[in-house]
Structures are given as C-alpha cells and as structure tokens.
Amino acid sequence: MADTLENINPKLYRKIDDRQVTAHDEDEDVADEFDTREIFDLIRNINDPEHPLTLEELNVVEQNLIEIDNEANKIHVKFTPTIPHCSMATLIGLSIRVQLLRALPSRFKVNVEITPGTHMSEAAVNKQLADKERVAAALENNHLLEVINQCVGIKC
Amino acid sequence: MGTLELKHTLSGHRGRVWNVCWHSKGTCLASSGEDKTIIIWGPQEPKWVIKTILTEGHTRTIREVAWSPCGNYIASASFDATTAVWDKKSGQFECNATLEGHENEVKSVSWSSSGQLLATCSRDKSVWIWEVNDDEYECAAVINAHTQDVKKVRWHPTEEIVASASYDNTVKLFKEDAADSDWSCVATLSSHTSTVWSLAWDKSGNRIATCSDDQTVKIWQEYKPGNEPGIATTNNEPVWKCVCTISGYHTRTIYDIDWCKTTGLLVTACGDDIIRIFKEDNDSDPHQPSFTMVCSMDNAHTQDVNCVQWNPILPGQLASASDDGLVKIWFYNE
C-alpha cells in the first residue's frame, strides 16, 4: 500500500440508520426476497483500503446504485471511487465482489462496476472485475487475500 | 429443435470445475478445477465413475487438461505458472515432467496433431511452443505478440499452426518460418469487442469459431493467395476474415466453444448457465455462412458453464464443466 494517502481529506457522508425489523420480516412463513437494502447492508461496512472509514461513509457505495432482480438472479452494484484517479478502485471493487460472493447464494450473478464517468480507467477496471478467471487467480494470492479480508472484515 | 439429453452427472471435484477433455479414443474423460486435482472418469455400466484422481502435480488451480493425440499423456496447465505432463509408463499416471518458464498463471495447453509440439499460454501475455523429444520438453519459442493475458491456445487439426485467444480482444495465428525456424504471427483476427475466451478449428482447418465476453460467436474463414472470390492477400500469406457473427443468443460471457469434427455442430458454454448448439444452414454460402440455433439447454448447470467438448469419436456425445462443481455428459438428439 502507498505510504502517502492519495486522497488526503475525503468528504464524509452520514451513515443511514439500521434497518427496522418488521413483524413481516420475523414471520417465518413468509418468503423474503433479497432487496437492495439487504445487499447494501452486506457491503456498506467494507473498510476503505486507505482510510479508517467505511465505503458508506465515503459514499463509495449507495443503496440507490444497487439493482437486484430476484427472478433472474441478477445483482448489479455500482461503486464510486472517491477520486477519478484512485489507484485502489480495483481493490475496492474486488472487496465488494468477494463480500457478495461469500454472503450470497451461488445462484446470483453479481456484476460490480464503477459508476459511469467517475474514474479515468473505468473500462479497464470494469473488465478486470468482470473476468472471473483473473478474480479467481487474484484470490489465490495470499497477500492480496489478506488485504481484501482486512477490507471486508467488519471493525469492532 | 434438437434436444440435449442428460446422461450422467459426475460429482467428485470440490469447488469450481474449469475444464473437461475427452481421451482421443472418446472412451474416457479428464477434468480439472480449483481443487488442484485431475479426475479421470470412465464408464462402468450403467454409470460413469472415477477411474483415477491425480494430485500433487500442482500447488494452485488447474485451469486446463489436454490428452495427447496418442492418448498416453495428459498435459495440465495451472495457475502455479507451470505445465505438468503426466504419463502411465509405470502402469499408473505420474507427473514426469514439469514445464517451467511462464511468469504467472498458465491458462491453456494444447498438443499439435502429431503430438510433437505443445503450446502453452499465460497471463504473462506470451505463448510458448515446446518440442517433445523422447519425453524431454524443450522450449522452441516464446512468442510475445499479444498485449494482454492469453486465454486459450489451440493447434490446427492437421498443420503446425497454433491459434491463441486473448484478453486483448484478438485471436492470433502463429507458425514457424522455415527460413530461420522462428515462430511468428501470421494473422491477427480482430473484430470482437471484449476478451476472446476460446476458439475452435473446424475439421478442415480452414475455419475458426471464436467466443467472447462480448456475448457473440464469430466464424472466421481462411483465404489463401489466389482464392476464388479475389480476397487480397499480402506476402503470400493467407488472410482470415470474419464471415459470420452469431449475436443475440447469449446473455452473458461465452466461456467456451467447440466445433464437432464429425457432425459440424457448434456448442457454446455460457455464463448464463445455458449450453447452446448451432448448426450451419444447408443452403449456407461459404463466404457468408449462416447458423441456426438448434438447441438451448436452460439450466444445463446451476452456475456458469466453463467448458464444453464434443466426444471426438461418438457423434452427439458432449461433456460440460461448471462452477457448480459438476461434470455432465449429454447426448444431442437431432
């Protein structure tokens, strides 16, 4: 990791409140489909690789940039790097992919992409994140896996 | 429409299965995956069972396995940057040669039709040609023609020409220059707009089918110098032209394609869990061929289909491998 921070003073955003559990949610007889809030809850507390802050606090992930189609088993997550030349963009995207890969049933097809127009190497980063062979190879790299685990590990 | 009938479901791998390869006689099947093992499957009526499990040849994912044309060797390409060659001279399969040299993950391995040459390719952007001499493997060429990760290498069905597909969106063809025995790029096939994951030669070696992350299949035709339609060639080298694009069928990345040498049918493996089969139309113009989808097997697997391969001997028999950890054997009925 770089010795100097790329984005020295990032803008901070307010966290949303915890989800209110309704009687409907607790009713075991009702089949609850995945919704965008649930996906958001899985990724909002991923740590930024540079700052002791979460992706939610840095506005890298937002609930309204998540799309889910339960029927087609498709999930589409867009994330917004804090600065357009952020060298951590691939690592952040990989952390989001890994977290969703681990937490969701395998039937889901997950796409993780940069919010259009927010990064200089958007197409290259998106292509890299969409290549499951390169993702699989990256996850066999112990050093990288350790860094990703630190990112997805929720702070106490 | 034809139908694809599921004959056998083979479970034995732990985790994703990347690849399946038929023995040259079509009698057994090898598969490999992220569990770092190679499994050899064979029929034991009425089922297919595990004949052998090969372990300890590689320290990381085995991305691809390939039987030699004689059927006595298996080559395996691994993310551990090596290619292993297994033989059964001792009575059972043993890894007796490890080909080293690639800087990182080896993605694919292929034997030439004579069995005298091996090609490997890697994320390090290179294609390596190895000469086989009495169980010794010597590097004959390191070809740095691609600008990105090379995903697949496949030899011409009869000649010593090798094709490679890459993350740089192109396919390249290489052959040895008789004058200086240097391997060089003789054609670049550009038309796909994203990663080319795989390719397959047809029986004649005059056509190649490619599949891509751009969700299309393309058919390429070779035009030799002095060809009938008058397609211009330079330096007396054949040119390759994209003569057909099959689009609108696949909804995600197409990871693999195979062109049956006996029936001429094309089969694709897709990230939407579907296996599709395409047939060339009877009245198809060779310079502008048309293909019709004759089968679409929804939920062929419960996750991405990574590999499909026709049995080289038994027409209609097909094997597939998936992220769902399974290998399946199918039969296509027209």
A139 touches chain B (CB under 8 A): no
Q: How far apart are CA B15 and CA B10, in angstroms?
A: 13
pLDDT of residue A1: 46
Number of independent structural domains in chain B: 1
Q: Exposed, middle or buried: residue B278 (CB in 10 Å: 0-12, 13-18, 19+)? A: buried
Task: Answer whether A137 sits within 8 Å of B79, measured CB to CB.
Answer: yes
- Whichever domain contains B201, its CATH number is 2.130.10.10
- Distance CA(B48)–CA(B315), nearest Å, equals 18
Give the pLDDT of residue A156.
Answer: 43
- Quick check: B218 contacting A, CB < 8 Å? no
pLDDT score for B134: 82
Which whole number is the average pLDDT over B56-78? 96
φ, ψ for residue B261, nearest 5 deg: -75, -20
Q: Is the pLDDT of residue A3 over 80?
A: no
- Tell me the Ramachandran region of residue B236: left when phi exceeds 0, alpha when psi lies from -120 to 50, beta otherwise: left
| Percentage of chain B modeled with pLDDT above 70 | 100
| Residue B37 structure tokens | 């093992």
State residue B311's pLDDT score: 98
Q: Is A22 helix (H, G, I), strand (E, B) or coil?
A: coil
B291 — pLDDT class (breaks 50, 70, 90):
very high
Query: Which residues of chain A make contact with B79, given a CB cutoff of 8 A?
Result: 136-137, 140
% of chain A with per-residue pLDDT over 70 = 94
pLDDT band at A28 (very low <50, low <70, confident <90, very high): confident
pLDDT at position A120 over 70: yes
The answer to whether residues B301 and B4 touch, using CB atoms and an 8 Å cutoff, is: no
pLDDT digits (tens, 9 = 90+) for A143-156: 999 999 999 886 54
Contacts of A136 in chain B (CB under 8 A): 16, 34, 61, 79
Which chain B residues are within 8 Å of A130, Cβ to Cβ? 213, 253
pLDDT in tens, B82-131: 999 999 988 899 999 999 999 999 999 999 999 999 999 999 999 999 99
Domain interval for residue B242: 3-333
Among the listed ranges A11-15, A140-144, B158-162, B305-309, which one has the minimum average pLDDT value?
A11-15
- Confidence band (pLDDT; 50, 70, 90) for A21? confident
Per-residue pLDDT for A100 more than 60? yes
Residue B261 confidence class, pLDDT cut points 50, 70, 90: very high
**ipTM here:** 0.94
Given a cut of 60, is residue A131 above it in pLDDT? Answer: yes
For A62-80, what is the mean pLDDT? 94
Q: Does B268 touch chain A (CB under 8 A)?
A: no
Contact A109 B271 (CB under 8 A): yes
**Strand extents, DSSP E, chain A:** 66-69, 74-79, 109-114
- B211-252: pLDDT as tens digits: 999 999 999 999 999 998 899 998 888 999 999 999 999 999
For the cut 70, the answer to whether the pLDDT of residue B284 exceeds it is yes
Residue A140: which of B79, B167, B271 has the nearest Cβ? B79
User: What is the residue-averaged pLDDT of chain B?
Assistant: 96
What is the model's pLDDT at position B211?
98
Q: How confident is the model at residue B47 (pLDDT cuts 50, 70, 90)?
A: very high
Tell me: pLDDT of B39 over 60. Answer: yes
Q: Residues B50-64: pLDDT tens digits?
A: 999 999 999 999 999
Q: Pairing state of beta strands B170-177 and A74-79? A: unpaired
The 10s digit of each residue's pLDDT in B124-159 is 999 999 999 988 999 999 999 999 999 999 999 999
A130 touches chain B (CB under 8 A): yes
Residue B207 in tokens? 């056509």
pLDDT for A154: 62
